[in-house]
A and B are shown apart, each in its own frame.
Chain A
Amino acid sequence: MVLKIFFPQCCNKADSGLLVGHWLPGQDSAVVLAVIHYPFIPGQVKQYIHQVGCVGVGWKNEEAGGEGKTKEEKTGEEGDKVIFVHYEQRKVMLSQLHPTDPPVPLTQSTSELRQVFGTVSQSESLFFLDKYDDSPVKLTHWQSEGREGSIIVELMKQASTPVCLLTAWILVVCSLSVSVSRILNVFPLRFISSKLCSCVQLSYRTEHLQTVSSPTRATSHTDYMRKANIFMSFLLDVTLGLLLIYWLYRENRVGQLANALLPAADRVAKELEELLQWLMGAPAGLKMNRALDQVLGRFFLYHIHLWISYIHLMSPFIEMILWYVGLSACLGLTFALSLLSDIIALLTFHIYCFYVYGARLYCLKVYGLTSLWRLFRGRKWNVLRQRVDSCSYDMDQLFIGTLLFTILLFLLPTTALYYLVFTLLRMVVVMVQGVLQLTVDFINSFPLFALGLRVFRSYTLAEGVKFSVLCEEPGTPLHLMMDINPLKFSSVVQTYRTATYSCYPKDSWLALCKKLFLGELIYPWRHKTTKID
């Protein structure tokens, strides 16, 4: 059986001493963690090793000043059956082997590499002493050239606890005040706030901030990455929002926007009126039923007239509203975008209403037609059995049924045309809102911290290892160098994406077409259910 020894590179140039490490059961491998230098008292060393939890391997490392030749005295092993795998201790210590799901306790069934990585990262207590300390045990390992540290990181660590506590307290106060005001009118506000994107986005961000500002340290690697990703995405959000504010308020663009808004709304209304006039005439050469046409056309025209009057009523306040809404972008670009999506939804409310009227009328017509068609053929829908059965009708039932069927059939093109036109308009609005929502979603869920780690410190996210053969001389055992194989960029994004209330299409294309054909109301984007308190 081949014996594998994992040897840290930092100990290659160490003075002679005793190798300390772990023995991996079932894999015939040993992981060397540090070297204890001469002179040492064997009793104290034994006590220390036992305390730290390692196994002292009874080999003598006879390296002198950089030669790197090791003589092992384990009896019964020929020199040819040993593999030395050199690894860089600092990188293996700090890296995380993906997938990170399996539990931490290292059993015999976990893979060898995982055991090696786990052993090194769990031996932190061994790395506290080094050869310059005044203790009886002098060690060499990756920290022996001096403990790594950075002033900025330490200062940030000290400052983070009070900041976290402060943020958590502010959040608690805010949520309390919001819930108190909500007790007053529960139903309407709750319904509206679940429909408005900006309220959903706000609640989502509050949840995020609560996660980030919890004063307990993150225990597992996944929690730590999640916190860091949320924090970075929040920072990015706020930065982009501030940039947007700077751009908007620099040359009084808000005023220009407000001045352009009213003529735009007027223009949309005018286009709609022209469209309705066209439908009331002979659209695309089709001949409509004059009476029904006039009724529907006039009904919709009156709606548009009402809508325009309301917009004109609001016109003096628009600039002020826009000014304050623009300021709210300091909460983040995502908030500004969801507000924009909500504003679009409010401004095109009349199109939504028209769509609902048209769809309902069409739907009613289609159901009537299907049921009367069954009557035409002498059948009936059995509600109890949920199927179509034959049925004998009376003469007058048949007569009236056929009459109604004919009327509905000949009125179908008119209703269908109105339905088609307003459905298309509604689809355009839905597409625009969908694009905005997708952008918001992207900013929310993109793992910026994980990607930054992958670019700058690629060894922390490890997909596996790679080996390269170091030196080969006949008679000496094989020396291999173990490097860390970093995770691919696509896997990084996939593993560390923050789970969001992503909007995704509710129906497949086929189901959507079927619903459109039957006239059912469609709400193509659906939010994943979240905890909306």
Chain B
Amino acid sequence: MQNGEHFGMEDETYTDIDGKAISLECQSHSGFCREFTVSSAKVSISRVMVYTCAVWMTAYIIFFFTELLLFQNTAVLSSAIIITLVGMMIHIHFVKVDHETLLVIGSLGVQVSSSYASGRESTDFIEMDKIKDIVINEAIHMQRVIYYLCILLKDPSDPSGVSSVVPLFQSSKPRLNCLVKVYRSCQEILAKC
């Protein structure tokens, strides 16, 4: 592994647990510092258009009915526009995750960050002293069994116990093949320090 190279993806396409395509990028900055980025699909234009059309059609229908029955009420139309705009802004700023990053720095810590479609980034850094291990866990979700990568944190009072679990890649939800790749890389670094 050489410093600073993007790791070729061996042309393997990864999917998430629902079958949508995602992509994994591994970057190795040094012998003990690696960065993994999982990107989900972007906001599709067709969904945006469907949503906008649905809201505006409903607004126009209500407008015509109230015009026929009572009086012309433009408040319905303006509120529909406002609802659409505000709804879309909230969605891209708070809900839609563009990519999630895991940065592992040996003997310093692990940084988990989610980047939203509007560019907002929310980051969390966990120091190496608090990390017990990085493992792949199984979970039963409705009618199927899914796998997720998580960080186990040490319990300060009990040296061999686990105080809490931090799940990774929650929005992208990659499948096992992707997780195994990330897991192996992380374990190499964790074993060194």
Q: Are B107 and A2 in contact (CB under 8 A)?
A: yes
A488 to B, closest residue via Cβ: B122
Stretch at the interface among B51-59, B123-131, B133-141, B178-186: B123-131
Given contacts A466-B113, A472-B3, A478-B30, contact A1 B107 (CB under 8 A): yes
Q: Is A465 an interface residue (CB 8 A)?
A: yes
Most buried by A among B31, B103, B105, B106: B105
Given contacts A2-B193, A112-B127, contact A83 B108 (CB under 8 A): yes
Q: Are A466 and B129 in contact (CB under 8 A)?
A: no
In which size bucket is the chain B interface? Answer: 20 to 34
Q: Is A28 an interface residue (CB 8 A)?
A: yes
A440-481 interface bits toward B, Cβ cutoff 8 Å, 1 = contact, 0 = none: 000000000000000000000000111101001111011010
Q: What are the residues of chain A within 8 A of B113 when measuring CB–CB?
A: 466
Given contacts A2-B107, A28-B107, contact A474 B125 (CB under 8 A): no
Given contacts A112-B129, A469-B35, A478-B33, contact A4 B108 (CB under 8 A): yes
Q: What are the residues of chain B within 8 A of A4 when measuring CB–CB?
A: 107-108
Expressed in whole angstroms, the Cα–Cα distance for A224 and B160 within the complex equals 40
Given contacts A80-B31, A469-B35, contact A474 B4 (CB under 8 A): yes
Q: Are B193 and A111 in contact (CB under 8 A)?
A: no
Chain A contributes a number of interface residues (CB within 8 A of B) equal to 23
Given contacts A2-B32, A472-B3, A480-B105, contact A111 B129 (CB under 8 A): yes
Q: Is B132 an interface residue (CB 8 A)?
A: no
Q: Is A485 an interface residue (CB 8 A)?
A: yes
Q: What are the residues of chain A within 8 A of B111 when measuring CB–CB?
A: 466-467
Q: Is B29 an interface residue (CB 8 A)?
A: yes
Q: Is B2 an interface residue (CB 8 A)?
A: yes
B111 to A, closest residue via Cβ: A467
Of B4, B107, B125, B130, which contacts A467 at CB under 8 A? B125
Nearest-Cβ distance from residue A459 to partner chain B, whole angstroms: 14
Expressed in whole angstroms, the Cα–Cα distance for A111 and B154 within the complex equals 13
Interface residues of B in 10-42 (CB under 8 A from A): 29-33, 35
Nearest-Cβ distance from residue B116 to partner chain A, whole angstroms: 15
Of A2, A466, A467, which contacts B106 at CB under 8 A? A2
Q: Are A469 and B3 in contact (CB under 8 A)?
A: no
Most buried by A among B29, B103, B107, B111: B107
Interface residues of A in 73-114 (CB under 8 A from B): 80, 83, 85, 111-113
Interface residues of A in 469-525 (CB under 8 A from B): 469, 472-475, 477-478, 480, 485
Interface residues of A in 1-50 (CB under 8 A from B): 1-2, 4, 28
Nearest-Cβ distance from residue B111 to partner chain A, whole angstroms: 6
Nearest-Cβ distance from residue A103 to partner chain B, whole angstroms: 16
Expressed in whole angstroms, the Cα–Cα distance for A160 and B45 within the complex equals 59
B32-75 interface bits toward A, Cβ cutoff 8 Å, 1 = contact, 0 = none: 11010000000000000000000000000000000000000000
A111-145 interface bits toward B, Cβ cutoff 8 Å, 1 = contact, 0 = none: 11100000000000000000000000000000000
A28 to B, closest residue via Cβ: B107
Expressed in whole angstroms, the Cα–Cα distance for A83 and B193 within the complex equals 13
Q: What are the residues of chain A within 8 A of B30 when measuring CB–CB?
A: 80, 472, 477-478
Most buried by A among B30, B31, B32: B30
Most buried by A among B31, B108, B111, B124: B108
Expressed in whole angstroms, the Cα–Cα distance for A467 and B102 within the complex equals 11
Nearest-Cβ distance from residue A85 to partner chain B, whole angstroms: 8
Q: What are the residues of chain B within 8 A of A473 when measuring CB–CB?
A: 3-4
Q: What are the residues of chain A within 8 A of B29 when measuring CB–CB?
A: 469, 472, 478
Question: What 7 pairs between A and B have smallest CB-CB spacing?
Answer: A472-B4, A2-B107, A466-B123, A478-B30, A474-B3, A472-B29, A469-B29
Query: A1-B193, A2-B108, A466-B125 known; 17 other A-B pairs, CB under 8 Å?
Result: A1-B107, A2-B106, A28-B107, A83-B105, A83-B107, A83-B108, A111-B127, A466-B111, A466-B113, A467-B105, A472-B3, A472-B4, A473-B3, A473-B4, A474-B4, A475-B3, A478-B32
| Residues of A that sit less than 8 Å from B by CB | 1-2, 4, 28, 80, 83, 85, 111-113, 464-467, 469, 472-475, 477-478, 480, 485
Can you list 24 A-B pairs with a CB-CB distance of less than 8 A? Answer: A1-B107, A2-B106, A2-B193, A4-B108, A83-B105, A111-B127, A111-B129, A111-B130, A112-B108, A112-B127, A112-B129, A113-B127, A465-B125, A466-B125, A469-B33, A469-B35, A472-B3, A472-B30, A474-B3, A474-B4, A478-B29, A478-B33, A480-B33, A480-B105
